[in-house]
Structure 1
């Protein structure tokens, strides 16, 4: 196929899908294998002789899968959604808290991040229950919350927590925290959790070459300060020891479910209150808004240079004589002059 075995495992697990020519070649390979298997079965069918029925032999118990499927099976023993969620939480929460501690170096923040991730899973439980990797879904959500940039603005982030008691663990944790967030997450997923490179790239939303470069840079940075951890196997063991030596606790599943339901109710009430306030503000604006345009009145301004208005004074003798003359004349005015012909 021209690809790495990890890529084929990612195709078979459903995490990635082949595209283009690789998809056609992969489909042709599967078809050829199926045809060969069918031909071999037909060729061996006449040669098989009927065998007497044998007594059923006890089957050995299978080891538990690394990722349980919380989807309830049909039948009278089907689990309720709450029971399936509790089973998933009991299986994955302790390990996720330890992994998140390696990303943040803070015990309380690691616990809160995992609880918030499981609360988000409970809100979207039908979707998470049908997911092929429910633990991976919760892990990605917890990592995103723990590495969110706004975490640094929280008040408790200003107060450092007590470091690990062991000097080696303290040095390793400080080295991890000095790495960029993306490199740290890639290192924890690949060397801590044990995912392969395509799965790590898919969970960090990066291409496989980009994930490989981040992993190499992270390993080089760790080996530069701690040469004893240059071996990936030793690094994996030390990461597991660092996470296991800390006393990290996780809340009980019912408390996490109740906390998620309470947060959902608060968000719903806040959305309803905001909607009512918006409707009330809109109604008040419509009620009090003017129905026509009224131009604003210009403010008054003082005009300078105009003389003040003066009241008239007493009349002189000439003015009195003129007024009397006008009053004595006939009101009809002077006689009309008529033209005379010559």
Structure 2
């Protein structure tokens, strides 16, 4: 008997790229192949390799993903609240920039608002952070459009804006917002908000969004060991307050439930694009006005400046220790009596010597 060779598989990075090109989550791929989400994550990072029937099923799925997407309406599978839903657009190469941006916004914005709410505990700040991130993405769309992970680019921008320490000085954010209605959701949000921002962000990306550890470390600008330590300490802090969430799978489910319980909405894509263009136009006019004012001030200075060097006049200095100037004045009565007395009396003493010529 001859043993059949195993089904060929693309490299790990290509596996992930194929999945993301069809806007599939790791949960959806795991359900198609019949494995867990952690197994799919390990296959895409290259830590493990599928074998046997799982390998054949995974290879068939990847071969189907190599075909260009088509505009069909298959039955949608339920997706977690923190994951973006399946995209319904065609190939990005056939779209205009505005259409591609709108597709990315519709694909990422709903879940990204929920993620940012878990990160900050503020509904209005979550919506504002996502809109600002997409406004920046539209302003830099030529760079974002060719990025390997546009959704990750926008997510990182939204997280950075949401965690900015300057929000504490804004009057509208000095008071906390109403907590979730459910006691269990409120307890989980309280635990999350007590974590330091880097720990909270790492926990949300790994256990909430489902990124692998290297991608989590790269997005949080930390090394992989540092991200792992942050994740472990964050899990320990959550388990100490809520022992029922010590299991990462249960924590992942609860994060999705808390995010889905809030009615969080983002603006429409055209509104975001218009806001980005209006903001860019404002700063352009401000830069032009500042440049014109600077040129006018420089011209006025050159016009009114002296033609030659004029040394400045040294300021006067006070001199200490000089006695006051004595000036002659009228004699007092005692001085006049003394002068009269000396004039009346004959001077006593030796005869005055007078020099004589030889």
Which of 80, 86, 89 matches 2:96? 80
**Contact 1:121/1:138, CA 8 A, preserved across alignment:** yes
* 1:7-26 alignment runs, 5 A limit: 9=12
Runs of 4+ off more than 6 Å: 59-67, 300-303
Give runs of aligned pairs for residues 1-342 of structure 1, distance below 5 A. Answer: 9=12, 73=92, 78-290=94-306, 291-296=308-313, 298-299=315-316, 304-307=324-327
* 1:31-71 Cα shifts (integer Å, max 9, x gaps): xxxxxxxxxxxxxxxxxxxxxxxxxxxx9979899786989
Change (3 A) 1:10 1:73: closer
SS at 2:147 equivalent:
coil
Q: Tell me, yes or no, if the aligned pair for 1:100 and 1:146 is still in contact at 8 Å.
A: yes
Say which is worse superposed, 290-299 or 112-121, in terms of deviation: 290-299
Question: How far has the Cα of 1:159 moved from its partner?
Answer: 2.0
Inter-CA distance 73–239: structure 2 relative to 1 (3 Å threshold): closer
Cα offset, 1:190, TM superposition: 0.3
Given that 1:71 and 1:129 are in contact with CA atoms closer than 8 Å, whether structure 2 keeps it comes out as no
1:13–1:232: structure 2 CA closer, same or farther, 3 Å change rule? same
Q: What is the CA distance between 1:239 and its match in structure 2? A: 0.2
* CA–CA distance in structure 1, aligned partners of residues 146 and 90 of structure 2: 6
Do the aligned partners of residues 240 and 186 (structure 1) sit closer, same or farther apart at CA in structure 2, a change above 3 Å counting? same
The C-alpha deviation readout for 1:106-164, integer Å capped at 9, x for no partner, is 00000000000001110111111111211111001100110111111111111221110
Q: TM-score, normalised by structure 1?
A: 0.68
Q: 2:61 maps to which residue? A: none
Q: Verify the 8 A CA contact 1:10 1:199 in the aligned structure 2.
A: no
> Is the 1:72–1:79 contact (alpha carbons within 8 Å) kept by the matching residues of 2?
yes
The farther-off stretch of 63-72 and 128-137 is 63-72
Q: Which has the larger radius of gyration?
A: 1
Please state how far the C-alpha of 1:209 moved relative to its aligned partner. 0.7
Cα distance in 1 for partners of 2:73, 2:181 equals 43
Q: Deviations over 1:247-289 (max 9, x none)?
A: 1011000000000111101111111111112222222222233
RMSD between aligned alpha carbons? 2.9
Judged with a 3 Å threshold, the aligned counterparts in structure 2 of structure 1 residues 215 and 9 are, in CA distance, closer, same or farther, namely farther
Output the CA distance in 1 between the equivalents of 2:279 and 2:90.
25
Write the distance in 1 (CA, Å) between the matches of 2:152 and 2:88.
12
For 1:292 and 1:70, locate their aligned partners in 2 and report how far apart those are by CA, in whole Å.
71
Aligned partners of 2:133 and 2:158 also within 8 Å = yes
CA contact (8 A) 1:119 1:257 kept: yes
- Change in Cα spacing, 1:281 to 1:305, as seen in structure 2 (3 Å) is same
Q: Distance in 1 between matches of 2:262 and 2:206?
A: 21
C-alpha contact 2:85 2:107 (8 A) present in aligned 1 = no
